[in-house]
Amino acid sequence: MITKDEFIALYQEHITRRGADKLLDWMGKADFFTAPASTRYHLACAGGLMEHSAHVYNRLRQLAMAEYPEGCPYSEETLAVCGLLHDLCKVNFYKEDTRNVKENGVWVQKPYYTVDEQLPYGHGEKSVFIIERFMRLSLEEAIAIRFHMGGFDARPGDNSVSVAFERYPLAILLHLADLQASYLDEARGI
């Protein structure tokens, strides 16, 4: 489990380009540090988004170092930008509500998360849009973040994810890191 202070230290150590401080300030004023990562799948709990982002960053670094043992072509900043910020689309996206659940024959109210879409702009593309309001992304960083969901959010007949993966290896690595974090680390409670 990563704390808010640890996340901020990791961010500030690796993401230093112009506007990074303003983006971090925005994240703090929004619900990034308290939002869940999902409504009911991986890390559907307070702070889940922050924790998931750290998991993806760690997995992305591991994958990049394994794929390029002779020298990774991606800077620590690029890996941190992609890993830590790929899901900014989920900031101010969930809200907590309650529902009635029967426990031991008695109805009780239990909290749960619902989607409250404020900016209907897609998933990866919304993360790119938010980041670029504060700081510039390289083309490969933008493509990687845009397509980090792989085929999960592709439209029928759209082959752009295949083209992105063919041209930009970072997009594949980020997609794999997201899958590993979601289905291996977070499913095991790491």
DSSP strand E in 74-187: where? 94-103, 106-115
**pLDDT tens string for the chain (190 positions)?**
899 999 999 999 999 999 999 999 999 999 999 999 988 778 888 999 999 999 999 999 999 999 999 999 999 999 999 999 999 999 998 898 888 988 999 999 988 888 888 888 888 999 999 999 999 999 999 999 999 988 777 677 678 889 999 999 999 999 999 999 999 998 755 4
All structural domains of the chain with their residue ranges: 4-188
pLDDT for the residue 176: 97
> What proportions of the chain, in percent to the nearest 5, are helix, strand and coil?
55, 10, 35
**Is residue 73 within 8 Å of 79, Cβ to Cβ?**
no
Q: What angle do CA 98, 31, 47 make, to 5 degrees?
A: 75
pTM of the model: 0.91
pLDDT for the residue 121: 85
